[in-house]
A = this chain, B = another copy of it.
């Protein structure tokens, strides 16, 4: 038995003694039947009042942990029956102490703050990354009920990598886009996000290095960070990532993975040049690094045809290709696919057995029918036109209303305009003020490793807002920016003690 008392503590001395004895009895350090010193002996040893020990023993007896027997003195009691009477344990688990590093590693940047602004009633939302609801793919659902009712066995269960019929369909779908893969190299996933997650789980240990483009797709950054990976940024140029810097990082840091979105990049709209694609593949092969190609947008090219994925040029099998039906049909289907080396598909499947087993059977059936009967191609053709018009509407409105200092790109496909704010303006402040005026936007910060770099950018989506409110929304946004510029110019000049040393 060990007891240490601390008179400086707020806890009364008798509680300090009782708690320590209690802990030692429960842990077994003090065995069942242990003979305690008399109250006077313990008081003398600890240099305290006898009453204090008396009170401590009294409490322990009330809890059934001590018992006094004539002739035997005071002994420890550890029988189950007595323990059950005690109710002094914490009522709720200590969740915060139980969580994993994975949960703690999550990026704390609160992107939901901005998405909630977008969900307010009557807000014109440029913040989302969601398809239009004004052009539903009605043909995708026609006849599905009959199929479900006539063949319920098809609803029972799917192979982990997806129905083999759909994997065949996706292999020819990829072949039409010059990517000559086999059905065994296809895995149907619950969206491209699952592909990112499976790749992160298959490759990343804590401390491993992942190279990403900067800016980059925010949830990918989060996925890698949550695995405990170290992220390093390769800056984006107007024709894709800086491949010279990429090579230096490959040589120096031996990364486990390169993550890229080579076509109609989210958020910055850039597409990688062929020369850079060649170089990227060459470097990946030389340094034996897998490339994760995230490609949800390449079918939405505004020049009338789909852009060729990096994967089409991948002779050595370094590229793990991801795409999704979320941007071309509906995110609510939760359906995407991976195209990669057969061995990797096997490994991804073995991981996926522990995640969600397989994708929803109904979604798989809907997409397969939609592609096979030729309706999907027509539908994508129609939204390509629609989204190009919306992009033009947004660009035109910006041209008309933009204040000096605001600049933006004109993407050749995809979902977003990427705007650089006039100097000194903060995207966070703008998001807040714009929301107050009924317009939601996404600031650039989450897309950067160091948040300050993203503070002068905003992302504007033109696919989700109602078509007839795009121009009006841009006008409101530009007015807000103009007011903020004015306010900024009237600010006091900086003093030189902005950041005070912490003493």
What residues of chain A have their CB less than 8 Å away from a CB belonging to chain B?
26-28, 84, 89-95, 98-103, 106, 130-131, 133, 136-138, 141-145, 148-149, 152-158, 190-191, 193-194, 196-197, 201-205, 208, 219, 222-223, 226-227, 251, 256, 282, 284-286, 288-290, 315-318, 330-334, 341, 343-344, 347, 350-351, 353-363, 366
How far is A27 from B287 in the complex, measured between Cα atoms in Å? 11
The answer to whether residues A138 and B156 also contact, given A90-B288, A203-B100, A286-B89 and a CB cut-off of 8 A, is: no
Contact between B330 and A156 (Cβ–Cβ < 8 Å)? Answer: yes
B residues within 8 A CB of A27? 251
**CB-CB nearest in chain B for A202:** B103
B residues within 8 A CB of A152? 133, 136-138, 330
Contact between B288 and A351 (Cβ–Cβ < 8 Å)? Answer: no
Copies in the complex: 2
**CB-CB nearest in chain B for A319:** B93
B residues within 8 A CB of A193? 353-357
B residues within 8 A CB of A226? 351, 354
Contact between A144 and B148 (Cβ–Cβ < 8 Å)? Answer: yes
**CB-CB nearest in chain B for A278:** B84
How far is A65 from B148 in the complex, measured between Cα atoms in Å? 64
Chain B nearest CB from A244 CB (Å) reads 8
Chain B nearest CB from A345 CB (Å) reads 12
The answer to whether residues A223 and B332 also contact, given A84-B282, A93-B318 and a CB cut-off of 8 A, is: no
The answer to whether residues A149 and B138 also contact, given A194-B355, A202-B102, A203-B98 and a CB cut-off of 8 A, is: yes
**CB-CB nearest in chain B for A129:** B157
Contact between B219 and A353 (Cβ–Cβ < 8 Å)? Answer: yes
How far is A389 from B344 in the complex, measured between Cα atoms in Å? 44
The answer to whether residues A330 and B136 also contact, given A26-B251, A355-B193, A360-B360 and a CB cut-off of 8 A, is: no
B residues within 8 A CB of A93? 284-285, 288-290, 316-318
